[in-house]
Amino acid sequence: MKLLFRSFCCAVIISCLLSLTGFCGACDDIGSRVFRLHIIANSDSKYDQQLKLLVRNEITEYTDSLFAGCKSKEEAMNAAAEHKSEIISRSRAVLRDHGCNAKVDAYITKMRFDTRVYKDFTLPAGEYDALRIVIGEGRGHNWWCVLFPAVCVPSASGNIDDVLSSEESDIVRGSDRYEIRFKAVEIFQSILGLFG
């Protein structure tokens, strides 16, 4: 009887893992189509957090026009890389205008993001390409959003569905149906992270 119960439990676990593989693959594909913004404040002081938001406002406004003609994530990433010095310069100008001389660094990088629920959609946890802006020591709370497609910029003319397949759109729009799977993907990716 114990052997039968153990066999049944193993079969259930294997079935669950196999059912997640397709979902994990679709979540990874979503990450391959989206370019995110990640801004890290100098510290958690109220002043530094306000500066972070002012930098956010400046950069999202600037990238809105910078990415206006971009048709793909790669084009947006290339535009950000080509204008990285301008992004840093604009960020520093915002800080200076508010009496701060902290350094600013900007990187185009691949980084891990947790599941993020936005107003109309949910992005699953995973590795995403991002424009990462670090203010000063970069020890404060962060802010993140999606630069391409443009869903967090002032005009917010972009639509996440424009760059996703219908299956991927269903995943990001159906967060209520996939909440447990999103959590399972986070756990699964955390476990994989331990080995790589």
Looking at 32-165, list the stretches that DSSP marks H as alpha helix, in order from N- to C-terminal side. 46-66, 73-82, 84-97
Cα 33 to chain centroid, rounded: 11
Q: How far is CA 13 from each of CA 38, 53, 64, 171, rounded to the nearest angstrom?
A: 36, 44, 45, 23
pLDDT tens for each residue of the chain, 196 residues long: 677 667 665 555 555 544 545 555 566 667 788 899 999 999 999 999 999 999 999 999 999 889 888 899 999 999 999 999 999 999 999 999 999 999 999 999 999 888 887 777 778 888 899 999 999 999 999 998 888 887 765 544 456 656 666 766 666 666 555 555 555 555 555 665 566 5
Q: Distance (Å, rounded) from C-alpha 74 to C-alpha 35?
A: 8
Question: So what's the pLDDT on residue 62?
Answer: 94
Residue 8's pLDDT is: 60
pLDDT of residue 114: 84
